[in-house]
Amino acid sequence: MKISRYGLVNITALQSLKVCIVVRSVVGTPFYLMSYINGRVFKDPALPGLCPQERGVVYRAAAQVLAAIHSVDVQKSNLMDFGKTGT
C-alpha cells in the first residue's frame, strides 16, 4: 500500500502493519493498523501541561518533522500518485 512507501524516505514514522480497504464491515471505512511506540499524546496543541521550555522542545520537533515531510522528493520516492500536487 502507498502508506508503506514512507519507509523509502528519511522520516521517523510508525510502521504500518496492516491495511484494510476491502472489508468495510469491520469498522465501516478503510483503515490501517500502525505499530505502537511508547510516548505521550498531546490532544491540545497549546500543550497546557508543559512548561514553556518543554513546549519549545515539542514545537521544534514538530517543525523539524514537517520540514522533513516537505523536503521529500515525491518523484524519487514514487509518491506521484499519492494525494494532491501543490503549485
> What are 7-44's pLDDT values in tens digits?
555 666 677 788 777 766 677 788 888 888 888 889 99
> What are 60-83's pLDDT values in tens digits?
999 988 888 888 777 777 777 777
DSSP for 35-86, please give it: ----S---SSTT-TTS-HHHHHHHHHHHHHHHHHHHT--TTTTT-TTSSPPP
pTM of the model: 0.62
